Amino acid sequence: MSRTFRLTYLALLTAVSLSLFVLEGMLPIPFLAPGAKLGLANIVTVVALYTLTPRDALLVVCLRIGLASLFGGGPTVFLYSLAGGLLSFVTMLALQRTNAFSLPAVSAAGGLFHHLGQLFAAVAMTGTPTLLTYLAILGPIGMVTGMLTGCVAGMIRKRSMKVKIS
C-alpha cells in the first residue's frame, strides 16, 4: 500500500474510532454496571488488527486513547484507558496470531482484558487489591460486548476485503 493511502487509512480509522468513543459517551445505558461501556471504539481496533500491521493497529489504538483523553478525560482517564487498551490489544494480537480463535472470540477476550487492565491500573493507583473483585461483574460484560463488537468488526472486515488494504 502506498504511504499516502496508509496514512489516510490510519487517520480515517483513528477518526472513526474517536467518533465512536464520543458517541458512546452520549448514550444512556442504564443496564450496564458502573464503569462498563459497550466498547464501540473496539470495532475499529479489531478491524485495524485484522487489516493492518500490528504496529499500525497499535498506533490507531494509542492515537484514539490519547486524543480521547485530551478532548475529554484528563490524566486519570488516560492512564485507565491506556492500561486497558494496551492489555486488550496485546491479548487480541496474541490470540489472532494463533489462528485458533474466531474474530468475535478474539474481540471478546479483548473486552475482558480491557477491564482487567483498567482494574490493574486502579489497584496500582489506589493500593486497593480488592478492586479486582469487580472483575466478576465487569468481566462477563466485557466478554459479551466484545463478542458483539467483534461480530460488527467481522462484517466490516468482510466488506473491506474487497479493497486491498495491507
Q: Which three cell numbers stand for residue 53?
A: 500491521
Burial of residue 9 (CB within 10 Å: 0-12, 13-18, 19+) is buried
Contact 60, 48 (CB under 8 A): yes
Kindly report the backbone phi and psi dihedral angles of residue 134, in degrees, each rounded to the nearest multiple of 5, phi listed first. Answer: -70, -15
Which pLDDT belongs to residue 79?
95
3-state helix, strand, coil in the chain (%, to 5): 80, 0, 20
Question: Given a cut of 70, is residue 163 above it in pLDDT?
Answer: no
Q: In the predicted model, is pLDDT for residue 165 greater than 60? A: no
Residue 78 is predicted with a pLDDT of 93
The answer on pLDDT for 41 being more than 90 is: yes
Candidate from 1-5, 40-44, 96-100 with smallest mean pLDDT: 1-5
- pLDDT, one tens digit per residue, over 82-117 is 999 999 999 999 999 999 999 999 999 999 999 999
- Residue 84 C-alpha cell reads as 486497558
- Say which DSSP state 26 is in: H
Domain ranges of the chain: 3-160
Dump pLDDT digits (tens) for 43-90.
Answer: 999 999 999 999 999 999 999 999 999 987 789 989 999 999 999 999
**Confidence at residue 26, expressed as pLDDT on a 0 to 100 scale:** 86
- Confirm if 111 and 91 have CB atoms less than 8 A apart: no
Which three three-digit cell numbers place residue 38? Answer: 459497550
- Contact (CB, 8 A) for 18 and 67: yes
Classify 44 in phi/psi space as left (phi over 0), alpha (psi -120 to 50) or beta.
Answer: alpha
Task: Report pLDDT for 162.
Answer: 57
Q: Which CATH class is domain 3-160?
A: mainly alpha
Section 10-37 average pLDDT = 86
Q: Distance between CA atoms of 60 and 9, rounded to whole angstroms?
A: 10
> Residues 118-159: pLDDT tens digits?
999 999 999 999 999 999 999 999 999 999 999 999 999 988
